Structure formats: C-alpha cells, structure tokens
Structure 1
Amino acid sequence: MTASSAMHSVMTLRAAKLPQPIAFAAGAPTRRAIPNPIRPAKRLHRSQGWVSQRLSLLTLTPELQARIGQEPIDLLRAVGKKPAEQQQAALEELKERRAREEAEKAEQKRK
C-alpha cells in the first residue's frame, strides 16, 4: 500500500459516517469502540478485511497518524491495537525487531 493510498483510505473511512459516538482515549478511539466493519464495508463496496485494516489506523495517536506513509503501514496497523501511551514504544520495538530479522537474513544469504 502506498502512502497516498493509505492516507486516502483513512480519510475515506472518516467520511463514511461510521456509527457514533466513538469513545476517545488520549486522542485515539479505543479498539473496543471501533465499529463492526460489516456495515461500512457494504457501504464502501469493500471487504471487511479492508475496512478493519484501515479502522486500525484510526486508533493510532495523532502523532503516529501523521506518520502514515513515512513508517511501514503493517507496523502502524499492529501498533494501533495497543493503548495510546504504548504505541510509540511498540512501533520502535517492531522496527528494531524487523531490522534484526533482515540483518540475520542477509547474513544467512552471505553464507
């Protein structure tokens, strides 16, 4: 997913008139407050998985939402499942783990 398509997807979901109210904790909706993706998926003519993945981006803190396109989108979706106060640390941990795994793969290829 490209940065522009990820941001467009988030904006599309925000404009989709999701059921309200969505509870906010530290600026981001809680995972439990995210609506079931069935109705938005039907309304947007998309799969439930597509909607769920983009809804997880809405649970990011505003600082991390601003970094969509600069950080790997799969890591941001994973971080969106964490409480707001843990998201930044979780993102850094996932990035470090990915870098270690890639270094190990490169080392094994050299052998």
Structure 2
Amino acid sequence: MKTSYTIKIHDRALGVEHTLEVERDRYILASAEDQGYKLPFLCRNGACTTCAVRVLSGEIYQPEAMGLSVELQRQGYALLCVSYPRSDLVVETQDEDEVYELQFGRYFGKGRVRVGLPLDED
C-alpha cells in the first residue's frame, strides 16, 4: 500500500493547477498549506462548503464531511479540509454558492434568496 499520493488541484477561481504530494494519513488541505499552496477554506471542520472540490479521478476518504450530503459525496464532491487521499487524485475547486445550492436548494421553496428586493405588502 502506498503511503503518499500525487494530488492535482485545478483552482477554477484563479485558473491555476497545483500538484502536491499528500500522505495517506494527512488531510489534503493541511498538506497543501504546508507545501505553500493557498486554497479556499473557512471552518476546517467539514461543516461548510468553502473548500469543496469535485473529484475528477481517483479515490478520496472523508468520514468527517458533515457539510456534504451522502448524495453529493456519491456525485464526486469532497471537502479538502477533512479528506484523505486513497489514490492519486485530480480534483477541481468549486464555487461555494454552487455547492451550497446543490446541498440546500431544495429546502428553499421560493428559490435563491435575493438581496435588495422590496418586501411584498399586504
């Protein structure tokens, strides 16, 4: 069994790709930071979607990713702050609003919240 893996992270916001080595027992985000890469994050606890990525190839293990539904995990989404590599990986950062909408959009019957619109008057 390999003890470290090559991770390629395509940062969509910046249009750059990072390649790093990550130990099997280390979180990907922490390893990236240790190697000088700056990636989006907020909570570091697997509770938000700021560090969300889409796994394009490879296998990831994320038992603490409470910020992503099992369905989104099955669709290939992962949270780098609480993810361990289980193979070489290629991942792509996601827009946080995009992932949040996928995660919680069905709960908002009227659609996305709109800022600055007047309230309906009865």
* TM-score between both structures, scaled by the size of structure 2: 0.33
Higher strand share: 2
* TM-score between both structures, scaled by the size of structure 1: 0.35
